[in-house]
Structure 1
Amino acid sequence: MKIFAHRGLSGFYPENTILAFKKCLNLNIYGIELDVQKSKDNHLVVIHDEKVDRTFIGSGYIKDMTLEELKSLKSSFKDFEDNEDCKIPTLEEVLKLFKPTEFIINIELKNSKTKYKDLEKDVIKLVKKLKMGKKVIISSFRMDSLKKVRKYSSKVKIAYLVSDKFYKLRPKFLIFLDLINYNFSYVNPNHKLVDKNFIKKYHSKNLQVLCYTVNTIEDYERLSKIKADGIFTDFANIFPLTCD
Structure 2
Amino acid sequence: MKIFAHRGLSGFYPENTMLSFKKCINLDLYGIELDVQKTKDNHLVVIHDEKVDRTFNSTSYVKNMTLKELKSLNSSFNGYENNPECKIPTLKEVLILFKPTKFIINIELKNNKINYKNLEEDVVNLIKELKMERRVIISSFKMKSVKKIKKICPKLKTAYLISEKFYKLRIKNLIFYKMVSNKCSFANPSFVLIDKQFIKKCHGRDLEVLSYTVNNIENYQKLSNLKCDGIFTDYPNIFSTINK
TM-score computed with the length of structure 2 as normaliser: 0.98
SS class of match (1:86): coil
* Contact 1:9/1:24 (8 A) holds in 2: yes
Native 8 Å contact 2:29 2:240 kept in 1 = no
User: Contact conserved, 1:209 with 1:230, CA < 8 A, in 2?
Assistant: yes
Match of 1:237 in 2: 237
Q: Which residue of 2 aligns with 1:173?
A: 173
Q: Deviations over 1:180-239 (max 9, x none)?
A: 222110000000110111101100001000000000011101100010000000000001
Q: Helix, strand or coil: the match of 1:45?
A: strand
Aligned residue pairs, count:
244
Q: What aligned pairs does 1:178-189 form with structure 2 within 5 A after superposition?
A: 178-189=178-189
Cα displacement (A) at 1:144: 0.7
| Moved beyond 6 Å, runs of 4+ | none
Check the 8 A contact 2:3/2:31 in 1, yes or no: yes
Stretches of structure 2 lacking an aligned partner (at least 5 in a row): none
Distance 1:46 1:107, change over 3 A: same
Equivalent position amino acid for 2:168 in 1: K
Q: CA deviation at 1:177?
A: 2.2
Distance in 2 separating the partners of 1:194 and 1:40: 38
Indicate the RMSD between aligned Cα atoms, in angstroms.
Answer: 1.2
Q: Which residue of 2 aligns with 1:22?
A: 22
Q: Distance in 2 between matches of 1:148 and 1:164?
A: 24
Counterpart CA distance in 1 for 2:55 and 2:123 is 23
**SS of residue matched to 2:8:** coil
Match of 1:144 in 2: 144
Asked if the contact 2:45–2:91 (Cα under 8 Å) also holds between the matched residues in 1, the reply is yes
Match of 2:213 in 1: 213
CA distance in 1, matches of 2:204, 2:2: 19
Match of 1:203 in 2: 203
Paired-residue identity, %: 66
2:158 match: secondary structure: strand
Q: Secondary structure at the match of 1:239?
A: helix
For structure 1, the residue ranges without an aligned partner over 5 or more in a row are none
Match status 1:63 vs 2:97: no
SS of residue in 1 equivalent to 2:238: coil
Structure 2 equivalent of residue 227 of structure 1: 227
The structural deviation recorded for 1:59 is 1.3
TM-score when normalising by structure 1: 0.98
For 1:158, give the aligned amino acid: T
- Deviation of 1:165 (Å): 1.1
Note the 1:23-172 alignment, pairs <5 A: 23-172=23-172
Partner SS state of residue 56, structure 1 = coil
Q: Deviation of residue 173 (structure 1)? A: 2.6
